[in-house]
Amino acid sequence: MKVLVINCGSSSLKFQLIDSNTEACLAKGLCERIAIEGSMISYTPAGGEKEKKVTPMPDHTEAIRLVLDVLTNPVTGVVKNLDEIGAVGHRVVHGGERFAQSVLIDDAVLKAIEECNDLAPLHNPANLIGINACRKLMPSTPMVAVFDTAFHQTMPEEAYMYGIPYEYYRKYKVRRYGFHGTSHSYVSRRAAQVLNLKYEDLKIIVCHLGNGASVSAVKNGKCVDTSMGLTPLEGLIMGTRSGDIDPAIIEFIAHKENKNIDEIMNILNKKSGVLGLSDNLSSDFRDIEEGYFKGDENAVRAMKTFCYRVVKQIGAYVAAMNGVDIICFTAGVGENGPLVRTLVCEQLGYLGVELDEEANAKRGEDIEITQTGCKTKVMVIPTNEELAIARETVQITEQRA
């Protein structure tokens, strides 16, 4: 089956067409600046040239129409007509407590996703717009929602509850949900597969380190804890997000700087993290890495603090699982940043971790980067959220048939 995977944001839309039999990506692309002047679509068929076109996209329906046009283009397209697309898989950020698994989309599911909008006001409405636009243009094609939060729904109560009045959980479902679930699930399974070990027997820690960053603890094939919380602001220090802070800092800064809650939240989401720590040098780890090697004090501070927090989070999950067999690095920084992996692994001697420098310097493959025989294995597993969404989509669609 050919599966169209859609990841729809408020003004952008990423897509991939995947052949589920071979698991090959047939084409991929991106619509940018939807409903903003200067809208643009880029499209790359497998083995072909990337093409870019500036073209008006007044709304997401028009963006999806353009995606379907490029995929069926007689010269550069990869399918003859839309009937060849067997299903569409949509990434949905927040499924609340309602969705512990992917689900076939119908009107009731759409309503339930809408009810989670409060929990992810920046993401879920955009995801819904993408789903509705697709349903309009492909009314008879099955659509599946794959949730970022679903994999983490197996966490026990003691891992997902906060130490605040219980009534906020009862009334508003305030609790830890976690994000990047599709990635944590894909990477942890893949690590077991690459090492030829049984997933259900392992204790795995996945460090998803990208612009957004989270760590998860996966025990016997189930997520038992993760570092992001009610929202993706909690946990590690990220590109521009603060991660964990003393909540009293919010009031302290608000008084000192005469700012309101919205302004402070904006600072914690967009001006903090590595960007803020480096005194605005950059949120991009390539710049931080370059500065670190030059001895730039802002870059050194940001890099060391970021890595220290990853080390601490790993330690917490070793404790939570009473041990660890495999530690995985993934996402933009985790896959491409050998320095981050080195600085983290240097502090994991207590787990018997010894890096294989040659393996650590490689890129783009599933690889063990610890020396042969280490008790705890460290691996780099490039994440593939689109493939994971396509797999889920096929599974759910076939269950229905």
Least Cβ distance, residue 304 to ligand AMP (angstroms): 16
Structure tokens at 193: 């597969």
Catalytic residue among 118, 148, 287, 296: 148
Residues in contact with 239: Cβ distance below 8 Å, sequence separation at least 6, in sequence order = 210, 211, 212, 213, 273, 274, 275, 283, 284, 285
Q: Is 331 in the site for ligand AMP (CB under 6 A)?
A: yes
**First-to-last CA distance in the chain?**
13
Q: Is 286 in the site for ligand AMP (CB under 6 A)?
A: yes
Binder to ligand AMP among 84, 244, 284, 290 (CB under 6 A)? 284
Asked if residues 243 and 236 have their Cβ atoms less than 8 Å apart, the reply is yes
Asked about 148 being catalytic, the answer comes back as: yes
- Closer to ligand AMP by CB, 142 or 212: give it: 212
Q: Is 290 in the site for ligand AMP (CB under 6 A)?
A: no
Q: Which helix (H) or strand (E) holds 43?
A: strand 40-45
Q: Which stretch binds ligand AMP (CB under 6 A): 198-206, 283-291, 299-307, 392-400?
A: 283-291
Q: Is 322 left (phi over 0), alpha (psi -120 to 50) or beta?
A: left
Q: Cα-flanking dihedrals φ and ψ of residue 132, to 5°?
A: -65, -40
Q: Which stretch binds ligand AMP (CB under 6 A): 108-116, 246-254, 332-340, 341-349?
A: 332-340
Asked if residues 214 and 236 have their Cβ atoms less than 8 Å apart, the reply is yes
Binder to ligand AMP among 225, 289, 325, 392 (CB under 6 A)? 289
Asked if residues 100 and 154 have their Cβ atoms less than 8 Å apart, the reply is yes
- Closer to ligand AMP by CB, 142 or 334: give it: 334
Structure tokens at 176: 């830890």
Binder to ligand AMP among 29, 210, 229, 232 (CB under 6 A)? 210
Q: Is 9 in the site for ligand AMP (CB under 6 A)?
A: no
- Chain positions 153 to 192 lying near ligand AMP, rule: CB under 6 A, are none
Binding site for ligand AMP (CB under 6 A): 210-211, 239, 284-286, 289, 331-333, 336-337
Task: List active site positions.
Answer: 148
